[in-house]
Chains A and B, each alone.
Chain A
Amino acid sequence: MEQFLKHLADNFAINPELLKDFKILKFGDELFIMSKEAAIFKELKPMQRGIRMAKVFKHSSKLSTSSIQLFGKFAKKNIIQLDYDEALRFAQGFELVLRSQPSEIVEGLVIVKYCEFALGIGNYKEGKLKSRVPRSQVLRT
């Protein structure tokens, strides 16, 4: 957990303090984020508590679109800002060729935003932005 919060802080400058009102729990290979009261409710064999935060692998983790849409607005670095048409195409799962090269971005995973709202995670390399919105969540065209 510590490691995961550090990952958020290192890569996107998301301050872990902002998540302190919630609890992150691991079920299988996934992390879920939920209210404190939801975390202690154990009756009735819950199917899910709160929302998916990330999938964790041995040396890395993959943030979920749902959690980025909720917490991505707190990110302070590695952010790519899109206009409406670009944002729409990103949400539809397409790869975009960005018109201008964003400065101060490390190539790799970035948080993609439209206005103040985070759309999800993208993979940025050499002027191209690949949408990492899972197929099950992409916007219909």
Chain B
Amino acid sequence: MQLPAKFINRYQKFIPDFDRFLKTLDTPLRSVIRINTLKGEKEEILRLLSDFKLEPIPWYDLAYRVKNNIQIGNRLEYFLGLIYVQEAASMIPPLVLDPQPGEKVLDLTAAPGSKTTQIASMMKNTGLIVANDVNRKRIRALLTNIERYGALNVVVTNKRGERIGEFLPGYFDRVLLDAPCSLEGMLRKNDHALTRWSESNILRSSMIQKSLLASAFKALKPEGILVYSTCTFAPEENEAVVSFLLEQNPNASIEPFTLPGLITHPALTLWQRTRFHPDVLKTSRIYPHDNNTEGFFVAKIKKAVK
């Protein structure tokens, strides 16, 4: 893969084991499936997949990497909504969010619904998930996925995420902002991600993310949990966005997290002469070469009562 010199210059400064990182970007990813427990017991569904060579994903007991070549989209199990194809790193933000049955959850940028459907399973189809997205075309895919998955606790809305905090302040127990980003972390899946890569695009994304995160935080109840995630390596879209929220809101703090078998790296404290809020160090960077996944950034944010 031909990476722009600017990309290399930026990231070799802080991505550990950089040569292995570059090599990993050139290795294609195998599909990962998630078992839909809203439709049946895990064992019962696994029994139908006897010709799949499955390798468990350590951090989620319902996820498996498919090691042989299977056209998953042509399978009966797919038609039945018993399995959902989703990258293993993309399952991390909902696990960190840890939604509970009966709660009110906001998925601010939800389409096409990988994380929405995972959250629906975690909540056992109870309570409420507001799955919002600004893009109508992508909402169509979200609706198809919700239908096939059998997610009954989802309400789909089509608003600018920036406005939801002011419409519903303090309403949700948990909020997920899986933000639109410059997609660098997806390079293994899709090298088109690079064709639009530029530093100005990163800065533009960062501005949108800051206002989406402010809205997400506003929509959160006191004592509530907000997870901010991106699939990019750019500090402007990760640490800088979280740092901005922490500086604006003294009642926001970061909680560290760990997941079984998942290797993470602490975030940066300094980037291009900008020093971030010290709490940012508790957020996590997830690199493709550590866990054989896409790249991700995840921050778990708590809102204090006052």
- How far apart are the CA atoms of A139 and B72 in the complex, in Å? 11
Interface residues of A (CB under 8 A from B): 21-22, 33-35, 37-38, 41, 43-52, 64, 66, 69-70, 84, 87-88, 91, 114-117, 119, 137, 139-141
- Taking CB atoms, residues of chain A closer than 8 Å to B151 are 50-51
- Taking CB atoms, residues of chain A closer than 8 Å to B153 are 34-35, 37-38, 50
- Taking CB atoms, residues of chain A closer than 8 Å to B104 are 37
The 4 closest A-B pairs by CB, nearest first: A35-B153, A37-B128, A70-B150, A66-B147
Docked complex: B127-180 residues within 8 A CB-CB of A: 127-130, 132, 139, 143, 146-148, 150-159, 164, 167-168
- Taking CB atoms, residues of chain B closer than 8 Å to A115 are 44, 48
**Between-chain CB contacts (< 8 Å), 30 pairs:** A34-B155, A37-B104, A37-B153, A38-B129, A41-B155, A43-B168, A44-B157, A44-B159, A44-B168, A45-B158, A45-B159, A47-B139, A47-B143, A47-B156, A47-B157, A47-B158, A48-B155, A50-B152, A50-B153, A50-B154, A66-B148, A69-B39, A69-B81, A69-B150, A70-B38, A91-B79, A114-B76, A119-B76, A139-B78, A140-B74
Main SS of the interface on chain B?
Answer: mixed
In the complex, the chain A residue whose C-beta lies closest to that of B171 is: A43
Distance to closest chain A CB from B297 (angstroms):
28
Q: A49-B154, A140-B73 are in contact. List 18 more A-B contacts (CB 8 A).
A: A34-B154, A37-B126, A37-B128, A38-B154, A38-B155, A41-B128, A43-B168, A46-B156, A47-B139, A49-B155, A50-B151, A50-B154, A52-B147, A91-B79, A117-B39, A119-B79, A139-B78, A141-B74
The answer to whether B132 and A91 have CB atoms under 8 Å apart is: no
Main SS of the interface on chain A?
Answer: mixed
The answer to whether A91 and B76 have CB atoms under 8 Å apart is: yes
Distance to closest chain B CB from A55 (angstroms):
14
Interface residues of B (CB under 8 A from A): 38-40, 44, 48, 73-76, 78-82, 102, 104, 125-130, 132, 139, 143, 146-148, 150-159, 164, 167-168
